[in-house]
Amino acid sequence: MTKSPRKHKPGGIVHTYQKYDPMKFPSPKTPPPDLVSPAMEHWLMYGDRMELTPEQLANAVKIDPSQIAGLGPSIESLIKMLEERKRKILETYETDAAQKGAKKAYRDHGEPMQPPKRQRERFQLGFEQEQLYDLERVWYGLDDERSPFARDLVMLIEHLSRKYEVDQLVAKYTFTGLQAMTVDKAIEVKEELEKIDELLEQLKQAKENAQIGIIDMEQLSEYADPGEMEQLMQLQRQVEQYLREQAEQQGLTNQSGNVHLTPQAYKIFQGKLLERIFGNLQASRTGRHQGPIVGEGAVELQSTKDYEFGDSLTNMDIPQTLINAMLRQGDERPLQMRSEDIVIHKTKNNPKCATCVIMDMSGSMRYDAQYANVKRMALAMQGLIRSEYPGDFLQMIEMYSFAKPVAPGDVIGLLPKPVTIHDPVVRLRADMSKPEISEYRIPPHFTNIQHALQQARLFLSSQDTPNRQIILITDGLPTAHFEGHELFLLYPPDLRTEEATMREGKLCQQQGITINMFLVPSWSQSEEDIRFAYRLAESTKGRVFFTAGNDLDRYVVWDYINRKREVLG
């Protein structure tokens, strides 16, 4: 009986059809690493003062270590190899001989030395107590740096430094072997053990977050096999290429060796901020997704309803209306539409709100990096309004000794102003109408709430909406104000400045502008700062919030949404 030819069943290598090789990096099922957040946090902290290099960005990014499992040599095997090398060193040597040798060399060299009379006491104290600092002071105090004593002193300092290294070796590591070491050998062993410890730390970090780039390949090559090193370096190149591609996809560009932002990166970061802010809302709550106020509104919803007398036909769902008419009429032509065929899109009322955010960038905001929290809040507000309330008006204002409007793209580069006057009492006045006086000659680190409120009021007065508010973020009392063209810089805070600030707050209230003050903590904050916040809120019928700073973005965004709900209601 002849065998029938064996049929080939369909199948084969599925991952080739899917254009995915499971041995290649990365897995398409794993979400890409977040490169935007560490980049933005760098600029929030340093602004434009410090560039961000691709290497710094790569070291800040955390990758799921499961993505590199099975690729290149096992990091775990490299760790075990280094730990075995370290164990053998500790089990081979003992340190008593090296410690005694280092001490003997130091004593033998120093005891015969004869210092100059005026340096003798300090020399003897430093020599007996083995104080490197005192011996260096003796050398700096010598009249002749080329004298025999000076040359001997340099050698003594070298002996003491070597003794320090041997003592550090004994204190840091526990040796259990029997083989004696010379001082030179002990220092050599110390350097090798420290190198192994450094590599172990790098490998453990790489194992946790796939940061292959932090591994010192040159040092590791002294211990690992050439084949393993080649595989590891290939993996490192794969990771670097992957991060470059992800950076481009997330809006980070490499220009002249430094990382730069694009509008896409801003949008991604703002989305992540909002996701974090609303991420801890309970599932049983509606959160920010409030039900629409259904009625005659401006924003068309996807949901529909049957037409009722009085509904505007501008919101008609034309495709569904035509389908209804054809289903009812069948093949009869021409098509005649009736009122029962018409379907209308529901709408919601979305009244416009206008907001000015005053960001304190005075000198005191540098403490605890509060300025970074303020900028993070500003970016979250921009993202919220762009995505959820695109019709709302938002203006950012930077506040220091003056107040200036800030474009959305410039918020990330703001930094607290440097403190240029350290006197305990400052009483300065400058006539800014004089051409010889410019802003750049004025100390910038004071807090001018009055000018900031004035700028915000001017912006909001041109907005055709009754829903206007100022969000004021600061850490305490004002220390600067304008009276006409004259600028006053007064520290400690003066009643004259507070009165000018209160007058401007009253003008805001008269124009229907609500002032919401968010008071962040500061090292110099006192009860008087808190009382000022209450006085401003009471006199203007505004509100005051106290926040730790790191949750500022959540406070401001939630409050904004709650106010929108009140307006909608």
Q: What is the DSSP letter of 365?
A: G
Q: Are residues 478 and 498 in the same domain?
A: yes
Count CB atoms within 10 A of the CB of residue 168.
13
| Same domain (yes/no): 481, 457 | yes
DSSP string, 367-426: GGGHHHHHHHHHHHHHHHHHHH-TTSEEEEEEESSSEEEE-GGGGGG--PPPP----S-E
Does residue 400 share a domain with residue 447? yes
Contact in structure between 87 and 250 (CB atoms under 8 Å)? no
**Mean pLDDT for the stretch of residues 246-257:** 80
Q: Please give the tally of structural domains in the chain.
A: 3
Q: How many other C-beta atoms lie within 10 A of the C-beta of residue 537?
A: 17
259 falls within a domain: no
Of 161, 191, 221, the residue that ends a domain is: 191
pLDDT at 21: 45
**Are 344 and 306 in contact, with CB atoms under 8 Å apart?**
yes
Residue 380's pLDDT is 87
| Residue 242 pLDDT greater than 80, yes or no | no
For residue 534, give the CATH number of its domain.
Answer: 3.40.50.410
Quick: pLDDT tens for 466-520. 889 999 999 889 999 999 999 999 999 999 999 999 999 999 999 999 998 988 8
Nearest to 392 by CA among 184, 564, 559: 564
Same domain, residue pair 369 and 326? no
Last residue of a domain, one of 165, 191, 217: 191
Q: Does the structure show a pLDDT above 70 at 110?
A: yes
- Only one residue has tokens 């340093």, namely 46
pLDDT for 124-179, tens place per residue? 999 999 998 889 899 888 888 888 999 999 999 999 999 999 999 999 999 999 99
pLDDT digits over 9-39, tens only?
444 444 443 343 444 455 555 667 777 888 8
Verify that 495 and 518 share a domain, yes or no: yes
Task: Please check whether residue 276 lies inside any domain of the structure.
Answer: no
Instruction: Confirm whether 532 is domain-assigned.
Output: yes
- In whole angstroms, what is the distance from residue 371 CA to residue 42 CA? 13
Identify the pLDDT of residue 282: 42
Q: What is the pLDDT of residues 286-343, one digit of tens each?
A: 334 344 444 444 455 677 888 876 677 777 888 889 888 888 888 888 888 888 889 8
Domain boundary among 176, 191, 206: 191
- CA 431 to chain CA mean position, Å: 39
Task: Please tell me the predicted confidence (pLDDT) of residue 487.
Answer: 96
Task: Dig out the tokens for 207 from the structure.
Answer: 């194992």
- Which residue segment(s) compose the domain that 469 sits in? 354-568
392 lies in the same domain as 438: yes
Looking at residue 569, what DSSP letter applies?
-
pLDDT band at 419 (very low <50, low <70, confident <90, very high): very high
Question: Is 175 inside a domain boundary?
Answer: yes
Q: Is 537 found in the same domain as 449?
A: yes
Q: How confident is the model at residue 285 (pLDDT cuts 50, 70, 90)?
A: very low
Six-digit token string for 24: 């290649």
Asked if 321 and 271 touch (Cβ cutoff 8 Å), the reply is no
3-state helix, strand, coil in the chain (%, to 5): 50, 15, 35
Task: Tell me which of 443 and 383 has the higher pLDDT.
Answer: 443
Mean pLDDT of 382-404: 89
Q: Based on the domain organization, do 428 and 319 belong to the same domain? A: no
Q: For 53, phi and psi rounded to 5 degrees?
A: -90, 155
Taking only the tens place, the pLDDT of each residue in 420-434 is 999 999 999 999 999
pLDDT at 178: 93
30-66 pLDDT per residue, tens: 667 777 888 878 878 887 666 777 777 766 666 665 5
Residue 257 pLDDT grade (very low, low, confident, very high; cuts 50, 70, 90): confident
pLDDT of residue 20: 39
DSSP letter at 279? Answer: T
For 525-568, write each residue's pLDDT tens digit. Answer: 788 888 998 999 899 988 888 877 677 777 777 777 776 666 54
Residue type, 32: P
Out of 161-165, 358-362, 391-395, 450-454, which region has the weakest mean confidence (pLDDT)?
A: 391-395
pLDDT at residue 249, as a whole number: 81
β-strand pairing of 294-306 with 486-491 = unpaired
User: Which residues lie closer than 8 Å to 329 by C-beta, 6 or more apart?
Assistant: 335, 336
Cα 515 to its chain centre, rounded Å, is 28
Q: Is residue 290 within a helix (H) or strand (E), and if so which, with residue range?
A: none
In this structure, the answer to whether residues 439 and 464 fall within a common structural domain is: yes
Residue 63 falls inside a structural domain: no
